Structure 1
Amino acid sequence: MEHFIDTYLYELRKVRDEKTIKKKEYLLKHLQDYSEDLPAFDQSEIFSFYEYLKNKNLKETTIRDILKEVRLFYEWLQEQGLNLKFDEKALKKLFQSKKSQEALKSKKKYYSDDEINLILNAIRGAVEGISTKHPIYYILTIFLLCSGLRISEAVKVRKKDFEVKRILTEEGEEKEVWFVKVREGKFGKERKALIYFFRPEWKRIFEERLKKLKPEDFFFTYAVKYPKSVKVFTLTDKTAKWFYWKLEKELREKGYEIEVNAHRFRNTYITKLATKGFPVNLIADWVGHSKISTTMDVYMEAEREKQLEAILERI
């Protein structure tokens, strides 16, 4: 393969500038890493190559450039008399499928588990090229996912607003059920919301944090160390929204097409509880929807999105 690529680039140097040649060389290097021989790119091989590139954490735009350059390289090979297949219809089908999936993601109302992991990892500094954020934003994100509160409601929660009830299950086992009191909800209404820890480690994070707070303390009080002092702040909805806006911007710059906003955390809470079998009327009470139809709409749209995603994955 190396001989053919070198010859291809040599011929192109006669008509293209060196910057373009270097880019093409970089793009074709991924083909060399993928296979020692020149593969026949039928639909199965094209999709396999795409998944290989995806697993290298390359940007979607870079993957497209690689596939397009490989197609041009194979056209040149065919002109040289080599009988090597490259299924252009399959490539077009792949691009259309991925375009549909990206469009779906851009308007999707809830987060998948992979998207939740991406956001949390970015906050922890576990995504390459993104610095570690203050731990308060990790806790805030978990809280929004587990409580369904609006961000304006969440930042006003105090330690005394948490309530842990112990109930007996049908099997006779004791189980904890967590609630949070929303004192200043939308339209000034008070309510209680179920806190459902979708992962056991999240509950432990909350337990440890509550131990450090006094009853009147805001839950989202945090300290920032400066060279000569430590200052204590209470998170505001404006600061939190600004944080998520900046985080989304950072992720997009690294090639991750994802929206990061509190409302989608809220909708994720609704969707997860509904799929676990919680009655929609109870969920509506917990999230403070005045109409049960609003809650039902979120759930039904999420179900339609999941069905569409499953279809697109099979294309």
Structure 2
Amino acid sequence: MELLELWKKHLERTRSERTTITYVNAVKSFLKRVSTDNPLEVSSKELYQYADLSELSAASLLTHFSAIRHFYKFLTRRGFLPKDSFSEIEEAIEDIKEDYGLHTLYRKPKALEKSQLERIFQKVKGSKYENIYRLFLYSGIRLSEYKSLRPEHFFLDKSGIYWIHLPAEITKRKKERMAPLIGPSREETYRFTEGLSRFLENYEDTLSVNAASLQVYTNRLSKKLGFHFSLHSFRHTYITNLINQGFPAELVKEFAGHANIKTTIDIYYRFSPERAKAVVENFLKG
């Protein structure tokens, strides 16, 4: 394939011989499994299928998806692949890494710190991006799910908070999911709920933006602020907040839409003396 050869020459100039051979073989292995002869027509569905049907070890699977991401990033930068197509591929790869616990091979997913969130929201204050970032932060949705999100997917329960109801056809695993829109504290949750009620009345103007443009904007903001974060960082923060607030693993699994509870526990549940103390104190209050 001409595109593969072009990428290979790039690797030979920028990477070691060992990395070049490993990456090229990984992408060739992937492309043999897809339903098209044109690598530009590969869909996110085929990435998930490659992971699900693979007999590779976790470490090898991580290497393969790192190579695949690099290949498609190269094609995007050279103008062969549209940016929104690469965004879809990149989001799928991040989801796969999370589902299979591949992040744990090199780092734990990092929740945003309070000071980082303050700096982010200070920069986007009063804009549509403030509303959208808070939606990601309070719901834990994936970018791929956000693209199909509509006002009818939200509902207000008797306790006065919103839930998000994602039908099977727009979720990654094609499994229906419901999750509460919850923030770091009760006060922030109700404050967001009040704002969301207004935003849903004018959804297109307050909460809707092209997914590829959103990702590009976020990448640029991350560089401007001087610390790394992505849309997926808000998801990590949402899940971490649930855990810190004492939600059990089986509920966090369902709210996050993980394929199995092992993913939830292995990636997110780490011992925290502060959380342990809070759980004991809550028990004693009862």
Superposition TM-score, scaled by structure 1 size? 0.47
- Which residue in the other structure is 1:287 paired with? 256
Deviation of 1:204 after TM superposition, in Å, equals: 3.7
- Which residue in the other structure is 2:177 paired with? 191
Deviation of 1:201 after TM superposition, in Å, equals: 5.1
- Structure 2 counterpart SS, 1:111: coil
- Which residue in the other structure is 2:198 paired with? 211
Using the alignment, how far apart are the partners of 2:130 and 2:271 within structure 1? 25
- Which residue in the other structure is 2:7 paired with? none
Aligned residues: 165
Tell me if the contact between 2:108 and 2:267 (Cα under 8 Å) persists in the aligned partners.
no
- C-alpha offsets along residues 81-114 of structure 1, whole Å, 9 cap, x if unaligned? xxxxxxxxxxxxxxxxxxxxxxxxx975111111
Deviation of 1:288 after TM superposition, in Å, equals: 0.7
* 1:146 matches 2:138: yes
Deviation of 1:205 after TM superposition, in Å, equals: 4.8
- In the alignment, residue 116 of structure 1 is paired with which amino acid? L
> Do the aligned partners of residues 300 and 141 (structure 1) sit closer, same or farther apart at CA in structure 2, a change above 3 Å counting?
same
5 Å-filtered alignment, 1:200-239, equals 200=187, 203-211=190-198, 213-214=200-201, 219=203, 221-222=204-205, 234-239=208-213
> Do the aligned partners of residues 201 and 259 (structure 1) sit closer, same or farther apart at CA in structure 2, a change above 3 Å counting?
same
> Do the aligned partners of residues 181 and 108 (structure 1) sit closer, same or farther apart at CA in structure 2, a change above 3 Å counting?
closer
- In the alignment, residue 142 of structure 2 is paired with which amino acid? R
Q: Which has the larger radius of gyration?
A: 1
- Structure 1 counterpart SS, 2:267: helix
- C-alpha offsets along residues 212-252 of structure 1, whole Å, 9 cap, x if unaligned? 645xx7x4x227xxxxxxxxx94122111111101011112
Identity %: 26
- Which residue in the other structure is 1:112 paired with? 113
Deviation of 1:147 after TM superposition, in Å, equals: 0.7
Superposition TM-score, scaled by structure 2 size? 0.51
Q: Runs of 5+ in structure 2 lacking a partner? A: 1-106, 276-286
> Do the aligned partners of residues 268 and 209 (structure 1) sit closer, same or farther apart at CA in structure 2, a change above 3 Å counting?
closer
- In the alignment, residue 110 of structure 1 is paired with which amino acid? A
Using the alignment, how far apart are the partners of 1:159 and 1:207 within structure 2? 15
> Do the aligned partners of residues 110 and 209 (structure 1) sit closer, same or farther apart at CA in structure 2, a change above 3 Å counting?
closer
Q: Runs of 5+ in structure 1 lacking a partner? A: 1-105, 125-133, 167-174, 224-232, 253-257, 307-315
5 Å-filtered alignment, 1:160-179, equals 160-166=152-158, 175-179=159-163
* 1:251 matches 2:219: no
Q: Specify which of 123, 129, 138 is matched with residue 137 of structure 1.
A: 129
Structure with more of its chain in helix, by fraction:
2
> Do the aligned partners of residues 138 and 203 (structure 1) sit closer, same or farther apart at CA in structure 2, a change above 3 Å counting?
farther
* 1:278 matches 2:262: no
Using the alignment, how far apart are the partners of 2:134 and 2:269 within structure 1? 24
- Which residue in the other structure is 1:122 paired with? 123
Deviation of 1:188 after TM superposition, in Å, equals: 2.5
Tell me if the contact between 1:271 and 1:302 (Cα under 8 Å) persists in the aligned partners.
no
Using the alignment, how far apart are the partners of 1:146 and 1:202 within structure 2? 8
- Structure 1 counterpart SS, 2:156: strand
